Amino acid sequence: MHHSPSGAEAEINQLLMQRFSALGVEVWCVACRRRHCADNIIAKIPGKNPD
């Protein structure tokens, strides 16, 4: 379990980014510019079939 109360998600964000990176997944964080809004972790997982 990891600490991630609303408004203080830095710990879980760091863990998720490390885990996705270790899997070879492209991952980045988009900071929200509004008050009371968490940063968003985005992972781009490629599909196996281009169709």
- Threshold 0.75, pTM exceeds: no
> Tens of pLDDT along 1-51?
777 777 777 888 888 899 999 999 999 888 766 665 667 889 998 888 877
In the prediction, which pLDDT does 51 show? Answer: 75
Complete DSSP assignment for 1-51: -----TT--HHHHHHHHHHHHHTT-EEEEE---STT---EEEEE---S---
Number of domains into which the chain is organized: 1
E strands, 1-51, where? 26-30, 40-44
In the prediction, which pLDDT does 24 show? Answer: 93
